[in-house]
């Protein structure tokens, strides 16, 4: 039984898809004006775990992710420059080149982190006509008004605006007024009102702009996600024609907690204002990755990138392990010390898998198994189905490795361990964890090492142990380690 914490209801609930066994899942994609930093990537890892857990529970998934390649301004107050156009001026490239470059960089990063790719990946700029149709529907229903710089959504017209935050309309406006994320514009009726369509500045030609019934401009950030959800998951478009009464509620929508008060709240407002139906059944949000001095972010100037870790000698999967070791709804403080601990832990897991592989290869019989793998399966499934509790799931895997090594201390028990089954169970756990443990292989030894091993074994048989030790030293100098076992020498590349 899968339970997930629903931000909308503020409690853990049993998850079941609204229709059959197919889950409709939306995850907010990147704004492609720069590289994704480690905090951004933490969210994508959490969403990947969710996807893997859904698959493990037998569900099919229709997963949509957007690429925000226009409309995300430098201020949440719908002011400032478009982030992509600003970067284009800085790098002396076109906005389209910037978007393409950083989109490719993003997908390279998620591939390195072993994140499963969405079924559907859609760029905001490909669906401007649908954005306009949605805005026209909002206008027809009386939710819009015009200012000198664009068309805005009047949040006071929606009786339950802000419900995702758990605050009333008045409280949310008061909170945002006192914060730094929203500035007060004299033309906005309410602090929480947001742009649906922004007009291009007078006498300035933008690289990304389109004609519309209201004037030349570009869509607001929030409308893009609403449109893509309605078109590809809620199925409320027939071609480019918007048919709100056909909209279906989406199963799950994910993102970072910073999206709750503004972006996701505004997505709900736009969709529910015209469809009159619940937009999403389950909202899931991941917590921040922070530094000792506070939140990590591009605007804070302290963003750490995946390639920064690689330059320090850490593989991307070490970062993935670090993220798995903390629950997605818990703030995680990043440090190189924590990363090094994750490196050590992942190395130990890899050594465990290698040992299992080697023993499985040597084992001739197929014992029933002295290790009760069923209890580990049950414990692991219970952990991941309890709101994606990856720290507990990892703990179950470590309990298995501890029992394995404890039993292996007694050579008489080796024939009572079914190494193939232990390996199979580990691989099944890793289908959720995504640490690529199934890619560990026993590679053929170099001819020189094979020759030295044979020489050493001969010396041991002749009881010339001093000479055998000298050969061991030679082998170790060539970066190979020998472990003598009842089934022969096990050779490990150091």
Question: How much is the pLDDT for 79?
Answer: 58
- Over 90: is that where the pLDDT of 70 sits? no
Fold classified for 3-286: Rossmann fold (3.40.50)
Where residue 87 falls among pLDDT bands split at 50, 70, 90?
Answer: confident
Query: Please, which pLDDT band fits residue 175 given cuts at 50, 70 and 90?
Result: confident
Separation between Cα atoms, residue 252 and residue 65, nearest integer Å: 12
Tell me which of 1.20.140, 1.10.10, 1.20.120, 1.10.1060 is the CATH number of domain 345-439. 1.20.120
The whole-number pLDDT of residue 183 equals 53
90 pLDDT band, cuts 50/70/90, is confident
Separation CA 381–CA 134 (nearest Å): 42
User: Six-digit token pair at 357?
Assistant: 């592989």
Inform me whether the pLDDT recorded for 32 exceeds 90.
yes
Q: What is the pTM of this model?
A: 0.94
Task: Identify the band that residue 81 occupies on the pLDDT scale cut at 50, 70 and 90.
Answer: confident
What's the CA gap between 421 and 12, in Å, rounded?
34
Asked whether this chain's domains 3-286 and 345-439 adopt the same fold, the reply is no
Q: What is the pLDDT of residues 242-288, one digit of tens each?
A: 999 999 999 999 999 999 999 999 999 999 999 999 999 999 999 99
Q: Which residues does 7 contact at the CB level (< 8 Å), separation at least 6?
A: 164, 260, 283, 284, 285
8 Å CB contact between 67 and 138: no
For 433-486, write each residue's pLDDT tens digit. 999 999 999 988 899 988 999 999 898 989 999 998 999 999 989 999 898 888
Provide the 10 A C-beta neighbour count for residue 470.
Answer: 12
Is the predicted pLDDT of residue 77 greater than 60, yes or no?
no
Residue 198: strand pairing partners: 150, 218
How many Cβ atoms are within 10 Å of 204's Cβ, its own excluded?
Answer: 7
User: Tens digit of pLDDT for each residue in 319-330?
Assistant: 999 999 999 999
SS3 assignment for the chain: CCEEEECCCCEEEECCCCCCCEEEEEECCCECCCCCEHHHHHHHHHHHHHHHHHHHCCCEEEEEEEEECCCCECCCCCCCCEHHHHHHHHHCCCHHHHHHHHHHHHHHHHHHCCCCCCCEEEEHHHHHHHHHHHHHHHHHCCCEEEECCEEEECHHHCCCCCHHHCCCHHHHHHHHHHCCCCCCCCCCCCCCCEEEEEECCCCCCCCCCECCCCCCEEECHHHHHHHHHHHHHCCCEECCEECHHHCCCEEEEEEEHHHHHHHHHHHHHHHHHHHCCCCEEEEEEECCEEECCEECCCCCCCCCEHHHHHHCCCCHHHHHHHHHCCCCCCCEECCHHHHHHHHHHHHHHHHHHHHHHHHHHHCCCCCCCCCCHHHHHHHHHHHHCECCCHHHHHHHHHHHHHHHHHHHCCHHHHHHCCHHHHHHHHHHHHHHHCCCHHHCCCCCCCHHHHHHHHHHHHHHHCCCHHHHHHHHHHHHHCCEEEEEECCEEEEEEC
In which band, very low, low, confident or very high, does the pLDDT at 202 lie, cut at 50, 70 and 90?
confident
pLDDT single digits (tens) 376-395: 999 999 999 999 999 999 99
Domains of the chain by residue range: 3-286, 345-439, 447-493
Return the pLDDT at 140.
Answer: 98
Q: CA dist 338 to 42, 71, 183, 312, 322, Å?
A: 15, 37, 38, 14, 7
**Residues 42/79, Cβ–Cβ less than 8 Å:** no
């Amino acid at each position: 039984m899968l339970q997930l914490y629903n931000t909308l209801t503020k409690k853990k609930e049993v998850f079941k898809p609204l229709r059959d066994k197919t889950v409709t899942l939306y995850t907010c994609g990147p704004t492609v004006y720069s590289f994704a930093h480690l905090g951004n990537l933490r969210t994508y890892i959490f969403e990947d775990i969710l996807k893997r857990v859904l698959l493990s529970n037998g569900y099919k998934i229709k997963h949509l992710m957007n690429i925000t390649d226009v409309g995300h301004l430098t201020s949440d107050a719908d002011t400032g420059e478009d982030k992509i156009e600003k970067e284009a001026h800085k790098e002396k490239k076109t906005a389209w080149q910037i978007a393409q470059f950083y989109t490719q960089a993003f997908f390279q990063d998620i591939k390195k982190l072993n994140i499963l790719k969405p079924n559907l990946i859609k760029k905001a700029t490909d669906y401007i006509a649908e954005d306009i149709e949605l805005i026209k529907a909002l206008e027809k229903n009386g939710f819009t008004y015009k200012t000198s710089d664009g068309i805005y959504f009047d949040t006071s017209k929606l009786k339950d605006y802000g419900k995702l935050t758990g605050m009333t309309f008045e409280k949310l406006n008061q909170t945002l007024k006192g914060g730094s994320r929203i500035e007060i514009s004299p033309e906005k009726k309410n602090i929480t009102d947001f742009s649906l369509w922004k007009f291009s500045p007078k006498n300035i030609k933008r690289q990304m702009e389109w004609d519309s019934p209201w004037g030349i401009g570009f869509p607001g950030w929030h409308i893009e996600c609403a449109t893509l959800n309605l078109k590809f998951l809620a199925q409320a478009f027939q071609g480019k024609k918007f048919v709100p009464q056909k909209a279906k509620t989406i199963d799950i929508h994910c993102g970072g907690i910073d999206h709750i008060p503004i972006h996701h709240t505004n997505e709900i407002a736009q969709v529910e204002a015209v469809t009159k139906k619940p937009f999403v059944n389950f909202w899931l949000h991941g917590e921040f990755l922070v530094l000792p001095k506070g939140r990590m972010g591009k605007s804070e100037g302290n963003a750490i990138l995946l390639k920064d870790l690689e330059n320090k000698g850490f593989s991307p999967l070490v970062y993935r392990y670090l993220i798995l070791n903390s629950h997605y709804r818990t703030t995680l403080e990043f440090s190189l010390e924590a990363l090094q601990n994750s490196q050590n832990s992942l190395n130990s897991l890899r050594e465990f898998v290698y040992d299992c592989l080697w023993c499985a290869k040597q084992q001739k019989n197929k014992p029933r198994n002295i290790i009760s793998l069923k209890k580990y399966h049950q414990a692991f499934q219970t952990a991941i189905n309890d709101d994606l509790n990856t720290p507990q799931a990892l703990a179950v895997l470590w309990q298995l490795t501890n029992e394995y090594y404890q039993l292996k201390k007694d050579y008489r028990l080796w024939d009572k361990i079914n190494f193939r089954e232990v390996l199979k169970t580990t691989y099944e756990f890793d289908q959720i964890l995504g640490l690529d443990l199934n890619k560990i292989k026993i590679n053929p030894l170099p001819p020189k090492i094979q020759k030295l091993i044979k020489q050493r074994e001969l010396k041991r048989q002749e009881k010339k142990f001093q000479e055998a030790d000298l050969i061991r030293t030679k082998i170790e100098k060539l970066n190979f380690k020998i472990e003598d076992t009842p089934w022969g020498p096990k050779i490990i590349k150091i």
